[in-house]
Structure 1
Amino acid sequence: MPQQEMVGRRLARRLTWLDPVEDKLQPLVRDALRKTMPLRNLLDGTWLGAPLHPALTDVPVGAMATALILDAAESLTGSQRCGEAADGALAVGVLATLPAALTGTSDWRDLMGETRRVASAHALLNVGGLVLNIASLVGRVRGSRRCAKASSGAAFALSSIAAHIGGELSYGMSVRVNHDAAHTGPAEFTDVLAEEDLASDALMRLEVDGESVLLARSRTGAPVAIAAVCSHAGGPLEEGERDGDRVVCPWHGSCFEMETGEVVNGPAVFPQPRYETRVSAGRISIRRAQP
């Protein structure tokens, strides 16, 4: 049985006309966030240790679902209280869409090609849902409840498709997942290099037990080692820049402590796997850090 193509990818093929627009918008978003590192880390979820956008999307989706159920209850029972509760839930959903959109835009800034178009389809469907929900709120204020309910129902349908595409981005296209989740490395100390071959300013990539390892020296001269594949999007850290005992990914600027693997600046949110090192008889050995 042939594998069914993802909805997002089918939409992406029809959105190639967006590429020139995205090419102009993305640098503006990157530049704006590059100037305000605390805001960038806030929107990326670096402080949380997990991407922030997926967590925030639960609020508008839940609020819209609640409004839909309460609208149905009002229609079936004629309960004014259900109608008022539906209006309140919908208002919460509209307000909660704004921070979700901000964090989603932050995630979108680093995407390219097909994943960028799929993310844009996700965003456009959500914008359509937001417009319909705002129209529904206006209709409710004016007393046109039947049209208002139809509008919010259509918005829920659009947002549901958008949520499905968002899931495809994460689970089908590996956007914002931990690219080092399966990283292991040797459980016992394994000889990897002669100490004299590791320069003080080097960022050296080694393949050890099938894993890519970044080996360097700290400011004290001691060897340090972390996974060489950036947890954010798989960038090669050995091609990045050093900032003292930190390394900056060349792809999107994520910054990690080389002694601990901890994230200093996003867009990465997951730390790099760390290795213990030792020097014996002029040779450097490493093993994966013990819990």
Structure 2
Amino acid sequence: MSVRALLERAVGTVERWQLLDAPGYQVEHGISLTFLLAGRYARPLQDLLHGVWLGHPLHPFLVTVPIGSWSAAALLDGLDATGRGGPGAGQAARTVVGLGIAGAVGAAASGMTDWQHAHDEARRVGLVHAALNSTALALYAWSFADRGRGRTVRARVTAAAGYAVVLTSGYLGGVLSYRHRLGVDHSAAGRSPRTFTPVARLADLPDGEPFGADVDGVPVVLVRTDGAVRAVSGRCPHMGGPMGEGWLHRDELVCPWHGSRFDLDTGEPAQGPATAPLPCYDTRISDGAVEVRRRARWRSPTAITTEEEASR
């Protein structure tokens, strides 16, 4: 059996392992309680850990710190063990192990904040991923302590074991990103119409309420307020939630699944967990029909066509 087949079988086993559901929900409740205890600081803290301020999930940035640091530690340990690292190799290895531990704590906080919104198979894979990372962190903490006590050989062994666990966990992290698409933009802007295309009658749009529609198989949401019609993608960038079932909050469109809020003029997330902008569309009104057109993916205000402008 090939390596790929073995890995696929292992991942499939984890994805089907319903025994993980009960502890997974307990962990999720624990995360929610932690943020609840933070009171008014909960939302800013969540947005910080999601990476809303960055326009990109924070977790992938932070995981490079422990992986890079512990990779450097493995190299330094090898040089030190063979006598080729010089007098400072052992101390340098301890320093980068400590740096990796600090980075791993931050990566764990951001990762768990993202994971709490996962479902089904992704939730199970994420739980195992977190368990492996926690094991690796414990091994490296043990190694760091042993290095300070002069127990060099045992410190190298526990670090090597931790590195093997990190590599295994990293594979599951790839499964979460590339198969289950956690942290990936789920909006449908890539298949949007390139030319103005009718999507709804202006008379059918309620004032101040999201109106879900479909244009060439692509879901969009139209919002008519104060004589203006604005259009955004019908899929939330976070997990593909149906934005047409959302609602307005202070002129921001709220995702009904996880509560992400988006500015209707720019598409920028005003509140996570979404970090990518909600694609916006140019709009115009022709013969009483609202038409939309794909807009370039640079950050600029959405074109708004008012009824007064359309009548000129």
TM-score of the two chains, using structure 1 as the length reference = 0.93
CA distance in structure 2 between the aligned counterparts of 1:22 and 1:71, rounded to whole angstroms? 36
- Give 1:278 deviation, angstroms: 1.3
* Secondary structure at 1:224 match in 2: strand
Structure 1: runs of 5+ lacking an equivalent: none
Q: Deviations over 1:47-100 (max 9, x none)?
A: 101110011000000000000100000011163311111111111111111100
Give the structure 1 partner of residue 245 of structure 2: 239
Runs of 4+ in structure 1 over 4 Å off: none
CA distance in structure 2 between the aligned counterparts of 1:189 and 1:162, rounded to whole angstroms? 47
Match of 1:184 among 173, 185, 191: 191
1:156 correspondence with 2:163: yes
Does structure 1 retain, via aligned residues, the 8 Å contact 2:188–2:235? no
Query: Which 10-residue stretch deviates more, 32-41 or 145-154?
Result: 32-41
Match of 1:138 among 145, 148, 151: 145
**Structure 1 vs Structure 2: percent identity of aligned residues?**
36
- Give 1:182 deviation, angstroms: 5.3
- Give 1:19 deviation, angstroms: 1.8
Match of 1:90 among 85, 97, 110: 97
Does structure 2 retain, via aligned residues, the 8 Å contact 1:276–1:287? yes
1:11 correspondence with 2:14: yes
Give the structure 2 partner of residue 248 of structure 1: 254
Map 1:270-289 to 2 at 5 A: 270-289=276-295
AA in 2 matched with 1:9:
G
* Secondary structure at 2:167 match in 1: helix
Map 1:28-107 to 2 at 5 A: 28-33=30-35, 35=39, 36-77=42-83, 79-107=86-114
1:225 correspondence with 2:203: no
Query: Which 10-residue stretch deviates more, 149-158 or 138-147?
Result: 138-147
Match of 2:221 among 214, 226, 230: 214
Structure 2: runs of 5+ lacking an equivalent: 299-312
Aligned length: 289
CA distance in structure 1 between the aligned counterparts of 2:211 and 2:188, rounded to whole angstroms? 21
- Give 1:8 deviation, angstroms: 3.4
AA in 1 matched with 2:115:
W
* Secondary structure at 2:213 match in 1: strand
Query: Which 10-residue stretch deviates more, 82-91 or 2-11?
Result: 2-11
TM-score of the two chains, using structure 2 as the length reference = 0.87
Does structure 2 retain, via aligned residues, the 8 Å contact 1:245–1:259? no
Map 1:89-128 to 2 at 5 A: 89-128=96-135
AA in 1 matched with 2:72:
T
CA distance in structure 1 between the aligned counterparts of 2:212 and 2:190, rounded to whole angstroms? 15
* Secondary structure at 1:50 match in 2: coil
AA in 2 matched with 1:178:
D
- Give 1:255 deviation, angstroms: 0.6
Does structure 2 retain, via aligned residues, the 8 Å contact 1:7–1:165? no
